[in-house]
Amino acid sequence: MRWLVRLLGVVVLLLLAWRVAAVGLAEGYPASFWISQTLNGLVLGGVYALIALGYTLVYGILLMINFAHGDVMMIGGFTGFFALQLWIGVGWLDGSALWVVLALVLTVVAGMLGSVLAGITLERVAYRPLRGAPRLVPLISAIGASLFLQYSVLLIFGVTPRAYTRPALIEGGFRAGDVFVPYTGIIIFIVSLVLMLALYLIVQRSKLGRAMRAVAEDKSTAALMGINVDQVIVFTFILGSALAGAGGVLLGFHNTVVKFNSGFIPGLKAFTAAVLGGIGNIPGAMVGALLLGLIEALGPSALGIPTEYKDIIAFSVLVLILIFRPSGLLGEVLSEKKA
Amino acid sequence: MRQKWQIVGLFLLLAGCAAPAPAPQTAAEVAPAAEEAAPAAEEATSAQVVIAPGQTIRIGGSFALTGPIPDPGKDIRQAAEIAVDELNAAGGIDGFLFELVAEDGACSGDQGTVVGNKFAADSTIVAVSGGTCSGETFGLKPILQRARIPFVSPSATNPDVVDAECDVCNRVALSDALQGQVDADFVFNQLGLRKVAAMHDNSDYGKGLAEIFQNAMVALGGEVTAFEGVQVGDTDFRAALAKIGAGQPELIFFGGYSTEAALIAQQMKETAGLENAKFMSDDGAYTQQYLQAAGAAAEGTYMSFVAGDAQAEKLTTFTEAYVAKFGMEPSQLGPFHGQSYDSIQLIADAIRRVAQTDDSGNLVIDREALIAAVRSTAGLAGITGTLTCDELGECGAGGVQIFTVENGEFKQVAGFGM
């Protein structure tokens, strides 16, 4: 039976390759088009990565899917929006470039703080009381938390989308031939790489990171070794939420809009990315996210189908991965345990 | 067992790969047929509504208070409230006052169905004003038709909102059949553009309008380089825009609502091949929210609006009442307040013509008579002009206005059929 699955897999790949080649010849898009779409995909992937890491970290430690994570990102986006309004009110965005950069950095920091606050509150209120419960219970609690966050924001801030104001410094972009690169896209890509590197260093090199990995491997043994498991879990939520908060603000600057449900779809995509790379695996989440971003941007044009079906391509990839490599591209590393 | 499922999954995928991709230029398919036979709660509507003294005449309202255009939805609701206030201040009908039962239609077909079932199950609902969006109204339509409740939509513009089979369906807004045609004509003859691309948000409204625009453009002799769909709620349109940009169109027409329209106008400026392309959208995007969200990118873009034939005097009275009650100008939220006010007035006028008082002092409204009375409205003076319903239920007056954005404000550049 196994060989039949393999064979069919090869057939699927060949068919896809044939389709891509046929469409490529028929449509004849210029090279600049593919470069633009690749850049779009990398930016999208950078944002997905920031969110996907939160899923992966929490799964690695608690073996639980934190479905409210996308909404934690949205909270960050809103906090960033209000911080930005404050800087505008004080007039920082009209000042010199230095002030503008400072204001932007502070906006990201504010978004991170907002998300962290939401993340640790969720952990304390919605997840910790259920730690010993069967695995389905915290999952349901997470879905409830997601709806709670969305509709609280809807109730407090209303349904009208809030528009981020981009300072002139990051408005627009530069042109190289027929390729246009928006500044916000570059910022997203660089900031997400820097934050991912920082996360990697924290997890691999710091004392708390070592404690995290120990808890991921075995909670009770780690506790016996004198590790404060609760503290490590809170720290994990702080890390994941901070990354999501940064993602929320960056996405706000990139797409200039934030509303009560703007975390839902990116959250779902980031979850897909985490599974794609191997949930629980930090480099896996990064690779999965970049890959998903690229597939979404390039897929519809390469396969010659309308872009409105980009989500179908993304989720078909998820199905394929679950069939051929259920543990994801890089496997589940942070924790050896299986779902 | 597991492998068996894997194989089934693979075959499904293969089937998906083998299916041919739809050509981008397929002509307009028939726009959304109203879904038949959603099993509604079997409504207990009798042939007459009997209102006891002290009770109110209840008019349902389906407004898009959430969803993609909450601001225009709120404006439409507030305008309906003003109309009801005015009717009640004038004494209602023989001392019976009106009451607006507002529900959130959320601009979606699903929620329209929910609201429709709610109204159908409530035997005190006499008539309905709404829905705000076309998709929402497609949800309401079959249910209200079965429940024999007439509705008047202030703002659903898809041509199929009214049809020959539906005797309860009416609207004050003008049909997109006109708007799409006028928009294409403006682009082709006034702007002199020949190569355009059409986008839509896959809503009944947006897709329908984009198809009408595309067909009209082709009929005029123009070229439509791409017809791309996105989703209501999307925020990143760069992939779709890059694809459109490869065809180097001179203008993008977007059928959809303000949030998405604003983001597309912005992201166009960041797409190679589209930096200098013009952008045009529709009455769903003609809002202050579009101006705020698009910012500088809104400058020089075009919007069309299915405008009423505004009656200055009535409009002034209405605006004063609106500002006094809600503390804001009606145009701050959305454009359809006049139509909303008129939809309530039209319903009230029809009720007045058929309502009778029985021996025990009850107000009796015959449902079939009311349906006929709404449809036979003629020469009713409203804010948006003189309203006369034709045999299909098209009651609106006016024409299509086209605006451009200058210094952050809409400025009218053309008007057709006014």
Per residue in A256-309, pLDDT tens?
899 998 999 899 999 999 999 988 888 899 999 999 999 999 988 888 888 888
Residue B329 DSSP label: -
Q: Do A175 and B272 touch (CB under 8 A)?
A: yes
- The verdict on B231 touching A (C-beta cutoff 8 Å) is yes
Q: A166: closest CA among A107, A105, A106, A253?
A: A253
- The verdict on A186 touching B (C-beta cutoff 8 Å) is no
Q: Do A304 and B66 touch (CB under 8 A)?
A: no
- Which A residues, 196 through 215, put their C-beta within 8 Å of a C-beta on chain B? none
In the predicted model, is pLDDT for residue A66 greater than 80? yes
Give residue B139's pLDDT. Answer: 95
Question: Which chain B residues are within 8 Å of A9, Cβ to Cβ?
Answer: 10
Give residue A279's pLDDT. Answer: 86
Question: Which chain B residues are within 8 Å of A303, Cβ to Cβ?
Answer: 21
Element (H, E) at B316: helix B312-326
Give residue B177's pLDDT. Answer: 93
Give residue B37's pLDDT. Answer: 42
With H, G, I as helix, E, B as strand and everything else as coil, classify residue B11: helix
Residue A311 DSSP label: H
Cis omega (within 30 of 0) for bond into A185: no
In Å, what is the CA distance from A99 to each residue of A96, A165, A172? 5, 16, 19
Count the residues in chain A.
339
Smallest CA–CA distance, residue B4 to chain A, in Å, is 8
In Å, what is the CA distance from A11 to each residue of A3, B11, B22? 12, 10, 23
- Average pLDDT rounded to a whole number, residues A4-20: 85
Question: Which chain A residues are within 8 Å of B262, Cβ to Cβ?
Answer: 163, 257
**For the CA atoms of B268, B270, B276, B279, what is the dihedral angle to 10 degrees?**
10
Cβ-proximal residues to B90 (8 Å cutoff; 6+ apart), any chain? none
- CB B23, CB A22: distance < 8 Å: no
For residues A19 and B18, what is the distance between their CA atoms, to the nearest angstrom? 9
Neighbours of A313 (CB within 10 A): 19
* Interface with A, mutate which of B1, B13, B66, B199 (most A CBs under 10 A): B13
Count CB pairs under 8 A between chains A and B.
Answer: 129
Give residue A73's pLDDT. Answer: 96
- CB B64, CB B78: distance < 8 Å: no
Question: Which chain A residues are within 8 Å of B245, Cβ to Cβ?
Answer: 33, 36
Smallest CA–CA distance, residue B14 to chain A, in Å, is 6
Smallest CA–CA distance, residue B231 to chain A, in Å, is 7
Record the tokens describing residue A331, joined without a space: 């496997």
Which DSSP string do the residues of B355-399 spell out, in sequence order?
-EE-TTS-EEEEHHHHHHHHHT--SEEETTEEE---TTSB----E
Record the tokens describing residue B386, joined without a space: 């003189």
CA B98 to chain centre: 24
For residues A68 and A46, what is the distance between their CA atoms, to the nearest angstrom? 20
For residues B198 and A40, what is the distance between their CA atoms, to the nearest angstrom? 21
Cβ-proximal residues to B319 (8 Å cutoff; 6+ apart), any chain? B329, B330
Give residue A3's pLDDT. Answer: 83
Domain boundary assignment for chain A: 47-324
- CB B315, CB B331: distance < 8 Å: no
Q: In which residue are the tokens 């702007």 written?
A: B191
- Average pLDDT rounded to a whole number, residues A246-259: 93
- Which B residues, 258 through 277, put their C-beta within 8 Å of a C-beta on chain A? 259, 262-263, 266, 269-273, 275
Model ipTM value:
0.85
Give residue B31's pLDDT. Answer: 41
Nearest by CB: B239 against A37, A158, A171: A37
Give the residues of chain B that fall short of pLDDT 70.
Answer: 1-45, 417-418
Smallest CA–CA distance, residue A59 to chain B, in Å, is 25
Record the tokens describing residue A283, joined without a space: 């480099």
For residues B127 and B51, what is the distance between their CA atoms, to the nearest angstrom? 14
Mean pLDDT score of chain A, rounded to an integer? 89
- Average pLDDT rounded to a whole number, residues A36-56: 92
In the predicted model, is pLDDT for residue A246 greater than 70? yes
For residues A188 and A170, what is the distance between their CA atoms, to the nearest angstrom? 11
pLDDT in tens, B105-132: 999 999 999 999 999 999 999 999 999 9
In Å, what is the CA distance from B316 to each residue of A113, B324, B325, B326, B342? 49, 12, 14, 15, 14
Specify the range with the lowest mean pLDDT, choosing from A68-72, A83-87, A158-162.
A158-162
- The verdict on B9 touching A (C-beta cutoff 8 Å) is yes
- The verdict on B44 touching A (C-beta cutoff 8 Å) is no
- Which A residues, 244 through 273, put their C-beta within 8 Å of a C-beta on chain B? 251, 254-257, 259, 261-262, 265
In the predicted model, is pLDDT for residue A127 greater than 50? yes
- The verdict on A158 touching B (C-beta cutoff 8 Å) is yes
A20 band by pLDDT with thresholds 50, 70 and 90: confident
Specify the range with the lowest mean pLDDT, choosing from A169-178, A180-189, B363-372.
A169-178
End-to-end CA distance of chain B: 68
- Which ranges of B127-198 does DSSP label H, i.e. alpha helix? 134-147, 176-185
The side-by-side arrangement of strands in the sheet containing B169-171 is B98-104, B57-63, B125-130, B151-153, B169-171
For residues B291 and B299, what is the distance between their CA atoms, to the nearest angstrom? 9
CATH number of A47-324: 1.10.3470
* Interface with A, mutate which of B1, B5, B6 (most A CBs under 10 A): B6
